Amino acid sequence: MNFSFTKEQRMIRDMVRDFATKEIAPKAEEVDRTGEFPIETFHKMGELGLMGIPFPEEYGGSGGDTMSYILAVEEIGKACGSTGLSYAAAVSLGASPIYAFGTEKQKQEHLVPLAKGESLGAFGLTEPNAGSDAGGTRTKAELKGDRYVINGEKCWITNTSFARTVIVTAVNGVDKKGKKKISAFIVPTDSKGLTIRSEYEKMGVKGSNTTELVLEDVEVPEENILGDADKGFHQFLYTLDGGRISIAALALGIGRAAYEAALAYSQERKQFGKVIGSFQAIQFKLADMAMELELASNMIYKAAWLKDNKKPFKKEAAMAKLFASETATRACNQSLQIHGGYGYMREYSIERYLRDAKLMEIGEGTSEIQRLVIAREIGCPKS
């Protein structure tokens, strides 16, 4: 097996790392403290081509691959969890479905501005009563003439305040077996009847834009349905599979930031006349963190490699997301423990890392859902 990155992948990683170190990391504390979305940072990321890394140049992209994109998410997430989350959501959820399932017209009209960073992508799936049970969607779309009329409510949606369009899932009738048919629609955010409610007060990733959407008789043309109207459910499951790799990479970045901070602190902080890194109790914590982060990175890169090579990756994406997110939370918690009282203070970044990392165990499928996906993929009977 080849564990090395290509020249192009290394170039993208190094370029993003340099940008994240100089432009993103210095603003991370302020972004978290104020909750202000770093829109100027995203403008610069668009100019650098970061918003379109995994898309072909003909659609405004950089012509990269999933692995290159995942490395970018990791570096951005390491610098700032809020920026990393909005970046991952914009590319994996807002833009990727259009590239994967959209018509040529939809790609030219909607994907190009997303890949160029002229707008941010958003994906409206979750509802107040349809979280882990995404198939329980209640938002409805009714075809009237040549237009769909959409009614419903979405919650915890990322980037909508800075998006021109949002992909919204809605029930579009029933199939021959009486099951809901769920379709995806490209909905302009300035549509009449679409209300973007104020942001939530969150525990972490405070600088990532998160809102509610209310759709009241929102009309979109029939051509705005994404791909096959009867395959919306499978479309968003595939979208989530890919998105889970990016959330895993984001978790890895946060976890590595916490680990590196703990390693550096252990070599500076002295107690009992010695640096605390000389004590076995601290060494074991650092060793476990390093080991688990290394394992997580291998799982993530394998899932990305499978996706790039057109191989099944559902199971591996779920495993990577599950392990990386829980590893990141453990790493942040142990880093805080190593920092002691200082780690609990806002003047250090550790408590922010921990708050940000926790969401990775919830967003794009909770840890419990990941275990369910894995169980089904390895052949366990359905409950």
Annotate 91-157 with DSSP letters as a single string.
IIIIIHHHHHH--HHHIIIIIHHHHTTSS---EE--BTTBSS-GGG---EEEEETTEEEEEEEEEEE
Side chain identity at 233, as an amino acid letter?
A: F
pLDDT of residue 213: 96
What is the tens place of the pLDDT at every residue in 222-262? 999 998 888 888 899 999 999 999 999 999 999 999 999 99
Assess whether pLDDT exceeds 80 at residue 268: yes
Q: What is the pLDDT of residue 6?
A: 96
Q: What's the CATH code, domain 123-230?
A: 2.40.110.10
Are 7-115 and 123-230 in the same CATH fold?
no
Are 276 and 270 in contact by the 8 Å Cβ rule? The answer is yes
Pair 329, 358: CB distance under 8 Å: yes
* Contact (CB, 8 A) for 308 and 300: no
Q: How far from 46 is each of 12, 81, 135, 210, 246, CA to CA, in Å?
A: 14, 18, 34, 20, 18
Buried b (16+ CB within 10 A) or exposed e, 257-287: bbbebbbebbeebeeeeeebbeeeebeebbe
Pairing of strands 123-124, 165-174: parallel
- Give me the CATH code for the 7-115 domain, please: 1.10.540.10
Backbone angles phi, psi at 248, to 5 degrees: -60, -45
Q: What angle do CA 182, 370, 204 make, to 5 degrees?
A: 95
Given this model, what pLDDT does residue 74 score? 98
Average pLDDT over residues 214-220: 97
Which neighbouring-strand residues pair with 339?
none
119 in Cβ contact with 162 (< 8 Å): yes
* Range scoring the smallest mean pLDDT among 38-47, 69-78, 121-130: 121-130
Residue 34: CB partners within 8 Å, gap ≥ 6? 207
pLDDT of residue 383: 76
Reported pTM:
0.96
All structural domains of the chain with their residue ranges: 7-115, 123-230, 234-377
State the pLDDT at residue 382: 84
Average pLDDT score over the chain: 96
Hey, what are 231's tokens? 């395959």
d(CA 27, CA 12): 22
At 375, the pLDDT band (50, 70, 90 cuts) reads very high
Active site residues: 364
Q: What pLDDT shows up at residue 189? A: 97
Q: Report the C-alpha gap between 252 and 357 in whole angstroms.
A: 9
Q: 96: pLDDT confidence band, cut at 50, 70 and 90?
A: very high
How confident is the model at residue 232, as a pLDDT? 84
pLDDT at 217: 97
CATH of domain 234-377: 1.20.140.10
- Is residue 107 within 8 Å of 99, Cβ to Cβ? yes
Summarised one tens digit per residue, pLDDT across range 341-368 is: 999 999 899 999 999 999 999 999 999 9
Residue 25 gets the label, from left (phi > 0), alpha (psi -120 to 50) or beta, of alpha
* Number of helical (H) and strand (E) elements in the chain, helices listed first: 13, 9
Please state the rounded mean pLDDT for residues 19-47: 97
Q: Which amino acid is at 286?
A: L
What is the predicted pLDDT for the residue at 107? Answer: 97
Residues 6+ apart with CB under 8 A from 100: 235, 238, 239
**C-alpha to C-alpha distance for 247 and 208, rounded to whole angstroms:** 14
pLDDT band with cut points at 50, 70 and 90 for residue 208: very high
pLDDT tens sequence across 114-173: 999 999 999 999 999 888 887 889 999 999 999 999 999 999 999 999 999 999 999 998
Binning the chain into helix, strand and coil, the percentages to the nearest 5 are 60, 15, 25
pLDDT at 111 over 80: yes
Contact status, residue 158 vs residue 89, Cβ threshold 8 Å? yes
pLDDT score for 264: 98
pLDDT tens digit sequence for 177-202: 778 899 999 999 999 999 999 778 99
The pLDDT-based confidence of 280 (bands split at 50, 70, 90) is very high
What pLDDT was estimated at residue 198? 79
